[in-house]
Each structure stands twice: as structure tokens, then as C-alpha cells.
Amino acid sequence: MTNIFIANLDWEISSIDLATTFSSFGKVAYAHVVFDKNTKKSKGFGYVEMESADAAIAAIQALNGMDVNGRILDVKIASPKGNRPEPKKSVSKKPFAKKPFTKPNHGSAGYKKPYNPNYKKKEE
């Protein structure tokens, strides 16, 4: 069995559409479009498992780079999860993170009002 990864899918494509498309090249054992758990919308990629390696290679060569509804498909052999490169960690562009805003507690003993040169004490 050969597992194929398909990226840049149109959002409307279903698992049945994938199975139908790849079945023209050989027997499809499994076809699945990945959906987001929360939104239930397609993530734009999926997997197809074909029984014959020759049929899988023929499908990859024929479908890779094909334009489907304005999106260019990226079709390739799926790599096992352990063999994938680790994703790059995002680095903050700002050298220092901002501290969250906290409202000063005016009733605390350590609070001092800011200096105001125009402030005049009330005469008693």
C-alpha cells in the first residue's frame, strides 16, 4: 500500500471526490480529506491510500500541479510522521514582550500620585 498526500485542495472537495479521482489510476483503499474539529471546514489537504505502488506513482505524476478550481494541487508520497522535519519555531519580532496592563490599586499604602506642578493645596 502506498500513502499519498494531497495539499492545496479546494475547500469544497470531499473524500468521495478524492476516491473517485484517484480510482481512475488504480484501486483506492482509503481516501480522506482532513477537517478542522471546531469549524468542521476542510483544512485543504487530504490522504489517499492506493494498493498498487505503480498506480500511485502514475496518479502522482498525472495530478501533481493540476489546476482544480484555481488551486494548484501538490501531490506526493506521504512521509511517516516520525520522518518529517520539525516545524520552525516562530520567533517574536519584538525583543521584549509587553507586560500586561494592570490597573493601579489607589487604596494601597505604596501608591503615590504622579507629580503635577500645577497642583495647589487647598487652604484651610
Q: Which residue has the higher pLDDT, 18 or 101?
A: 18
How does the average pLDDT of the chain come out, rounded?
82
Question: Do the Cβ atoms of 31 and 18 come closer than 8 Å?
Answer: yes
- DSSP 3-state helix, strand, coil percentages of the chain (rounded to 5)? 20, 25, 55
In the chain, where are the structural domains located?
A: 2-80
pLDDT at 86 (0 to 100): 73
pLDDT tens for each residue of 57-116: 999 999 999 988 889 999 999 887 776 667 677 665 655 556 665 655 555 555 566 666
**Secondary-structure class of domain 2-80 per CATH:** alpha beta
